[in-house]
Amino acid sequence: MSDLSNYRKTYDKAELLENTIPEDPINLFHKWFHEVEDFGGVEEVNAMTVSTFGLDGFPKNRVVLLKKFNEEGFIFYTNYTSEKGKAILNNPHICLSFFWHSIERQVIIKGIAEKTTENISDNYFASRPKGSQLGALVSNQSEVIPNREYLEEKLKTLEHQFENKEVPRPNFWGGFLVRPVEIEFWQGRPNRLHDRIRYQLKENYIWKIDRLAP
């Protein structure tokens, strides 16, 4: 058994105080996101963990890429018939989380997911590289396949089929918009006395702000 008890780290790069935060958590997320970009040390700042309740009753986490955020919420794209897609359509209460180790920050978002409009999904799909577009057609995501060659042969067939042609977005592929109901911001601090600020959405779209014990 590997003993990891001696893994230690001191958190001392920043602080999160009530007198410096906005009333709207999306504004704080925007500020943090771009501060992490500017600070560096994170290859994909928009990488996030999506947690769902599967059809088998088990929770499951996986990393995807955030593609847009605004006052409505957070958007990512996936195959709607995948394990992830089916889980979200069955139970849209999901959790998103970001861990930006270089600046010792986490953001945890509880929200309710819904499909984006077809227009939004079409526009994003059209912006993708052709290889990624074909990849969406190639992969019956989460289904059992015989081997790697199965995918590569299917890709070759589609490359020939769509040579010099636009690739249409398949109706089983598109975006999810996650509308947040709670957002927690976590800033690492010395002696494990981390800063945790929680925003909870109340009536009339007012955000209640609380500090949580670390």
Report, as residue numbers or ranges, the catalytic residues. 192
Written as one string, the DSSP assignment of 17-45 is -GGG--SSHHHHHHHHHHHHHHH---S-T
Q: C-alpha angle 27/45/177, rounded to 5°?
A: 60
Output the CA torsion 137→46→67→28 (10° steps).
Answer: 160
Please state, in angstroms and rounded to a whole number, the distance separating the CA atoms of residues 66 and 78.
11
